[in-house]
Amino acid sequence: MNVVFPHTLDTERLPQIGLVVLKSDETIERDFRDLLPRTVELLVTRVPAGDELTLDNLTQIQNHLREAVGLFPTGVDFAALAYGCTSGTAVLGVPRVEALLHDAASTREVSNPLSALLAASEALGVRRIGVLSPYSQPVSDRLCGTLGEHGLEVAACGSFAVPHEAMVVRIDAGSILFGAAQLARQAHFDALFLSCTNLRTLGLLERLEEQLGVPVMSSNQVLAWHLMQQLGIETEGPGRLFRTGSRAAVSA
């Protein structure tokens, strides 16, 4: 016997955040599960990316962004949509990334790690920054140059210069701690930025802040913080940014 039952549809939805991540990224989804509150719903799609960390490969990603956003559920009205690639945003430029996201989906807010870093730096009163990344030299130079164009003084810019994206997630904690300490010895800065959404840094932020005596921010940390600031949602997370940056942003 085939029985058809009546049903009603639940029209209530939590605020939905869309996140576009690179095919090779193994870190950002795990970090976002730790950083985002249960009062929002995270939807993730992936975009093709070349295996090598080159300026050309990062530029080509824009050709696949609309297709990747098109794989989100039909009819989603995003509270916010984010592009989870720091180096890709530096290569394309913040205005271009924001325009691509607005054009690809219905969303009230858009973000990316660079816009988030700029907002976080303003909230913390940071003007002079140190940058540690996994990128090749041309990509690292583009990132630091882009930050300078947006008003941040880059006091020191160091990288691990790994050639392949798949290697980034395998850089161990000891290497990151050593690199951060060496940058701090080379130059004075107001804060340290650990760049790349695939670099596993979230569990090191508090330790590094204690050792260096300055705020330490990471791509995934600032992006999650910025999205919650845009939506006016209070949340908790590691580092001085979540302890003091949220209050400063609200006051401003």
| Total number of residues shown for the chain | 252
Identify which of 124, 100, 94, 126 has the alpha carbon closest to the alpha carbon of residue 112: 94
Mean pLDDT for the chain? 93
Is the distance from CB of 225 to CB of 233 less than 8 angstroms? no
| Tokens, residue 60 | 């080509």
Short-list 104, 82, 95, 106, CA closest to 20: 82
Identify the CA nearest to 79 among candidates 42, 111, 107: 107
For residue 252, the model assigns a pLDDT of 43
Q: Tell me how far apart the alpha carbons of residues 68 and 76 are, in angstroms, rounded to a whole number.
A: 14
For residue 214, give the 3-state DSSP assignment.
coil
3-state helix, strand, coil in the chain (%, to 5): 50, 20, 35
- Is the pLDDT confidence value at 86 over 90? yes
Q: What is the pLDDT of residues 13-23, one digit of tens each?
A: 899 999 999 99
The predicted pLDDT at position 75 comes to 84
Do residues 234 and 117 touch, judged by C-beta distance below 8 A? no
The predicted structure's pLDDT at residue 13: 86
Average pLDDT over residues 75-99: 94
CB distance 194 to 218 below 8 Å: yes
> Full-prediction pTM beyond 0.85?
yes
Question: Could you tell me the pLDDT band of residue 244, with boundaries at 50, 70 and 90?
Answer: confident
CA distances from 202 to 31, 67, 80, 216 (A): 7, 30, 22, 10
- Sign, CA torsion 31/36/37/43: negative
249 has a pLDDT exceeding 60: no
pLDDT at 251 over 80: no
Mean pLDDT of 29-43: 96
The DSSP code for 151 is T
Q: Which two tokens stand for residue 219?
A: 């791509």
Which of 81, 122, 83 shows the shortest CA–CA distance to 217? Answer: 122
According to DSSP, the β-strands at 41-47 and 16-22 are: parallel
Report residue 134's pLDDT band, with 50, 70 and 90 as the boundaries. very high
Q: At 7, is the pLDDT very low, low, confident or very high (cuts 50, 70, 90)? A: very high
